[in-house]
Amino acid sequence: MISFKSVSKLYGLVNGVNDVSMELSPGAFGLLGPNGSGKTTLINLITGQLRPTVGSVEIFGENPWGREEMLSQIGLCPAVDVLYSNVSAFEWVNYQTRLIGFDWSEARERTLEALATVGMSDAMHRKIGGYSLGMRQRTKLAQAIAHEPDLLILDEPFNGLDPIGRQEMTALLRRYLANGKSIILASHVLHEVEEINPDLMLLSNGRLLAHGSPQEIRDVLSNQQELVDGNIPEIARPGFEDKVRITELFIRCNDNYILAKRLFDSQQICSLAISKDKTELTVGTTSVREVYTLLPEIAVKENLEFYEFRSADGSLDDLFSSLMKIHRGES
């Protein structure tokens, strides 16, 4: 569906994206990165608003620059706010839909349907200038989905939405995916990106740090044996002064002390710490697989009941932090 081959984009001397290569099949993708990482540039390259300085971009098998017809297959909901303050949502979405090429009556039908989908039917005839941020966000989404594009690109779609709105947005995106459409979602709200279970593209300083499913990326990280300056653990065991990569695991069970005692015997465990409220055990290890193997045995032997188990790379935040550390040369 989308193909980037060694794409770089320069704005004068400023690097927008730097040597990005990737192939994306239809599906859901999360585009993650801090401000200035190149997310918007990447989106603009996909939608044909920018030409790459180096490399080539293909969308649906064609170069998007100058391929105007192809744009009817793409829907874009940018991060910027809509600022037509003296126009109603209905008028604006209707206009945007007519620009796709629909005639008056069909555009009107689609507009009404799209505004109903995002929950703006009641307010659609009011001027946008009087809308809240969440209402403007819904209006932007309506114009992006009104023509049912094959590829929906959303830049910070959760901005300004209350928790219910976010849930509704997530449900809408899931339905969209279920209809066989594709979504690229750029966001800083990482746990909401995870909700639609996308493959991830992690950008930083214009470079693509990693690309794949969260599990694939975690596997890559957990198998890494690079020599780095490790953090000093709370209970440091001898023999671990060498520079190794340490993964932290957070475990909650009915008797953390017994579990700690049993884990202490393992050679792969380099640190153990119990939280102040005594409900959580933090295990530092050089081999997560070893711990995975030990835990069931200990659970059976000591009759332990586990409530929660997560690794430091178990959430997207931690995943991204780890990748950033690698990128900066810190781990």
Partner 1 sequence: MFVRKTLATFVFEFSRSLTTSRIATSLVLALFAPVMLVLIGFTVDINGVRNQIPFPLFVLSIFHLLALFLAVLLWATPVVYSELEGKTWSYLSVRPYGKFCSTLGKYLNAVAWAVLTTTLSLTASCLVISYFVWDVSFFVDNQIRPPEDVAKQIREGLNNANSPVVIWYSLFPCLILGAFAFSAIFVHIGLLAHKRGMVFAVIYGIVETAFSFLPAIVRQLTIGFHLRNIGLKTSNLDVSALPPQFSNILATETAIWVHVLALLIITAIHLGLAIYWLHSREYITAEEV
Contacts with partner 1, residue ranges (CB under 8 A): 11, 14, 16, 40-41, 44, 47-51, 66, 68-72, 74-76, 78, 80-84, 86-87, 91, 95-96, 98-101, 103, 143
In whole angstroms, the minimum distance from the beta carbon of 23 to partner 1 comes to: 22
Q: Which is nearer to partner 1, 86 or 215 (CB)?
A: 86
In whole angstroms, the minimum distance from the beta carbon of 184 to partner 1 comes to: 13
And the tokens for 254? 């009915």
Closest CA to 320 of 196, 207, 204: 204
Q: Starting at the earlier edge strand, list the strands of the sheet with 182-186.
A: 74-77, 151-155, 182-186, 28-32, 199-204, 207-212
In whole angstroms, the minimum distance from the beta carbon of 71 to partner 1 comes to: 4
Q: Which is nearer to partner 1, 139 or 331 (CB)?
A: 139
And the tokens for 79? 């991060």
The residue with tokens 């320069």 is: 10
Kindly state the greatest CA–CA separation across the chain: 77
C-alpha separations of 248 from 65, 158, 288, 318 in Å:
46, 31, 9, 11
And the tokens for 259? 């579990």
In whole angstroms, the minimum distance from the beta carbon of 70 to partner 1 comes to: 8
Q: Which is nearer to partner 1, 80 or 300 (CB)?
A: 80
Q: Which is nearer to partner 1, 93 or 291 (CB)?
A: 93
Q: Which is nearer to partner 1, 39 or 218 (CB)?
A: 39
In whole angstroms, the minimum distance from the beta carbon of 12 to partner 1 comes to: 8
Cα-based torsion angle of the residue sequence 107, 113, 115, 116 in order, rounded to the nearest 10 degrees: 160
> In which element (H, E) is residue 16 found?
strand 14-24
In whole angstroms, the minimum distance from the beta carbon of 210 to partner 1 comes to: 24
Q: Which is nearer to partner 1, 46 or 298 (CB)?
A: 46
Beta strand 14-24 with 2-11 is: antiparallel
Q: How far apart are CA 304 and CA 297, in angstroms?
A: 10
> In which element (H, E) is residue 76 found?
strand 74-77
Q: Which is nearer to partner 1, 41 or 271 (CB)?
A: 41
In whole angstroms, the minimum distance from the beta carbon of 46 to partner 1 comes to: 10
